[in-house]
Amino acid sequence: MIRMGVIGCGYWGPNLIRNFVEIPTAAVVGVADLDQERLNHIQGCYPQITVTRDYRDLFRLGLDAIVIATPPATHFRLARDVLLHGLHLLVEKPLTLASRDAQELIDLAEEHDRILMVGHTYVYNPAVWALKEIIKSGEIGHIHYLDAVRVGLGLFQRDLNVVWDLAPHDISILLYVLGSDPIGVSARGIACVQHGVEDVAYVSLLFPNNVLAHIHLSWLDPCKVRRITAVGSRKMVVYDDVESLEKVKVYDKGVERPPYTNTFGDFQFAYRYGDITIPNIRFTEPLRVECNHFLECILTGKKPETDGYNGLRVLRIIEAAQKSLSNHGSQEQIICEVKRKVERAMA
Ligand SMILES: NC(=O)c1ccc[n+]([C@@H]2O[C@H](COP(=O)([O-])OP(=O)(O)OC[C@H]3O[C@@H](n4cnc5c(N)ncnc54)[C@H](O)[C@@H]3O)[C@@H](O)[C@H]2O)c1
């Protein structure tokens, strides 16, 4: 039985608590939050859990692991303390707000031989696995571009803009499905509601082999859209997370150029409208898959799919996007190479 503690039970924390409570190999022993009302709510749902306003009380409960679901600005300080107390750690996204802090957490986890995992939940989503499989199999041909849209009336954050809040989802999906890191990024955004906090942003990423990816992020849109389109040389695929059942559709659509043209009148493209296929996806709650994976990594010592290095790669892209956003869309290079402490020492 893995004894768990959770720090932060605001909006997202209760989902993590519910999942770990329902998994037979885990027991949620303690929950900490600064807000007594949130603790009362959790205590009402789960009377067996010890609740506290001081997260340091959790260190006296004989825990094996802690989950951090507090605002991103607090992640580094709390995560560092958890690792220094020798506990396994699952941190919500983004891992930290600075890559040097993320690196310090990775080093600490390695020194203490503890699991460090980041809550990039979409990587544990069966529909995203299907998207990756379709791209990897070559079914849609060579990828020309990907278009991601994550918009709606969002939960406005006071300190972090929409890129820090929402882009970790799409970036983690893109890294996972493409299996490579981007080489450059540019971003533009505007702050419509709160001064200085961009609530709408357009982020462009260039991946190797000239694969272009674009992410549209907004907390200020009338329609909730969570969609990624991948356009290949043979087919196109759409992953729509808002769809309840048919989340992934493969379109046998395309445009073919005739081999030669003599006049402008001859210059006609042949549009191909073929079948639309919908793979059958056995859907499980992604957060349940993520929580089970964290427990499995603790028990077996396996490296998490979204380990600290994965969190660091996502973070470096967001940092570069933020730099571009502040510089009116400047082109920023991304160096995603991540090295272990020993490799850095030898370099
Ligand atoms: N993976 C996902 O799909 C997903 C979805 C939503 C949010 N998140 C992430 O979850 C985290 C929390 O987001 P949220 O929307 O639940 O925020 P929230 O503001 O609703 O809740 C955060 C809670 O943390 C508490 N808190 C803050 N500092 C604390 C401290 N030092 N000790 C104890 N408690 C403290 C607050 O009182 C609050 O109740 C963020 O990192 C966010 O990015 C992830």
Q: List pLDDT tens digits, range 180-210.
A: 999 999 999 999 999 999 999 999 999 999 9
Percent of the chain beyond pLDDT 70? 95
Please tell me the predicted confidence (pLDDT) of residue 251.
97
Tell the residue nearest (CA) to atom 1 of ligand 1. Answer: 121
Tell the residue nearest (CA) to atom 33 of ligand 1. Answer: 33
Taking the CA of residue 167 as centre, how many other CA atoms within 13 Å lie in the half-sphere pointing to its CB? 30
267, exposed or middle or buried, with CB in 10 Å at 0-12, 13-18, 19+?
exposed
Alpha carbon of 325 to those of 38, 101, 180, 185, 186: distances in Å? 35, 22, 23, 10, 7
Average pLDDT, integer, range 219-242: 97
Please tell me the predicted confidence (pLDDT) of residue 158.
78
Sequence-ordered strand ranges (E) for 159-247: 184-190, 200-207, 211-218, 220-232, 236-240
- Residues 211, 182 contacting (CB under 8 angstroms): no
- Residues 330, 186 contacting (CB under 8 angstroms): yes
**Mutation to probe ligand 1, out of 12, 18, 125 (largest number of atoms < 8 A from CB):** 12
> pLDDT at residue 328 above 80?
yes
Distance 88 CA to ligand 1 centre (A): 19
Tell the residue nearest (CA) to atom 9 of ligand 1. Answer: 92
- Residues 323, 332 contacting (CB under 8 angstroms): yes
In sign, the C-alpha dihedral spanning 163, 165, 166, 170 is: positive
- Residues 328, 201 contacting (CB under 8 angstroms): no
Query: DSSP code of 44?
Result: H
Alpha carbon of 203 to those of 113, 152, 210, 287: distances in Å? 36, 17, 16, 26
Q: How many H helices and E strands in the chain?
A: 9, 15
Distance 72 CA to ligand 1 centre (A): 7
Distance 11 CA to ligand 1 centre (A): 6
Tell the residue nearest (CA) to atom 34 of ligand 1. Answer: 33
12-16, 19-23, 205-209, 254-258: segment of lowest average pLDDT: 254-258
Higher pLDDT: 103 or 156? It is: 103
Distance 185 CA to ligand 1 centre (A): 28
Minimum-distance ligand 1 atom for the alpha carbon of 72:
41
Nearest in space to 179 (alpha carbons), one of 216, 226, 129, 228: 129
Q: What are phi and psi of 28, to 5 degrees?
A: -85, 115
Cis peptide before 94 (omega within 30 of 0): yes
Distance 67 CA to ligand 1 centre (A): 11
Pocket of ligand 1 (CB under 6 A): 7-13, 32-35, 38, 55, 69-72, 74, 92-93, 119, 121
**pLDDT band with cut points at 50, 70 and 90 for residue 159:** confident
Nearest in space to 234 (alpha carbons), one of 220, 209, 251: 251
pTM: 0.95
What type of residue is 184?
Answer: G
- Taking the C-alpha atoms of residue 289 and residue 119, their distance in angstroms, rounded to an integer, is 11
Three-state SS at 291: helix
Q: Which residues of 32-65 are buried (b: 16+ CB within 10 A; e: fewer)?
A: bbeeeebbeebeeeeeebebbeebeebbeeebbb
Tokens (6 digits) for 212? 């272009």
Distance 139 CA to ligand 1 centre (A): 39
**pLDDT band with cut points at 50, 70 and 90 for residue 164:** very high
Nearest in space to 325 (alpha carbons), one of 185, 195, 151, 220: 185
> pLDDT at residue 176 above 70?
yes
Tokens (6 digits) for 151? 């918009």
Torsion angle, alpha carbons of 181, 319, 291, 214, to 10: -50
35-44, 107-116, 130-139, 338-347: segment of lowest average pLDDT: 338-347
> pLDDT at residue 172 above 70?
yes
